[in-house]
Amino acid sequence: MSATPNGRLDEPAVEKEAVLKAFRRATREAALRHARLGQPVAITRDGKVVWLQPAEVLAMFANESESGRHDQTKS
C-alpha cells in the first residue's frame, strides 16, 4: 500500500465488514457485561433512546443466539 501525493492511502487499511463485525461484538459484550452487573443498558429503537433492564438485555441476546442475529440496537 502506498500513499498518494495528497497523503491518502490508495486502499483501505482494513475491511469495512471486519470493522463492523468487531464493533458489533464489542457492543454485545459491553451490553452483556452491564446486564450481568445488574445495570440497565441504553439502546436506540426507532430513533429514540430506550433503557433496557438487565433481564431484557439478556433475553435480547439469548434470542440472538437462537436466531443468529438481532435487530434491537439498530438506529
Instruction: Using CB atoms within 10 Å of the CB of residue 71, give its burial: 0 to 12 exposed, 13 to 18 middle, 19+ buried.
Output: exposed
**What is the reported pTM?**
0.64
Summarised one tens digit per residue, pLDDT across range 7-23 is 666 666 668 888 999 99
What confidence score (pLDDT) does residue 75 get?
41
Question: Mean pLDDT of all residues in the chain?
Answer: 81
Q: Which helix (H) or strand (E) holds 52?
A: strand 48-52
Single out the residue of 55, 51, 35 nearest to residue 43, CA to CA: 51
Q: Is the pLDDT of residue 67 over 60?
A: no
Return all residues near 22 (Cβ < 8 A) that are at least 6 apart. Answer: none
| Cα dihedral value 45, 48, 54, 60, nearest 10 | 0
Name the one residue in this structure whose C-alpha cell is 438481532: 70
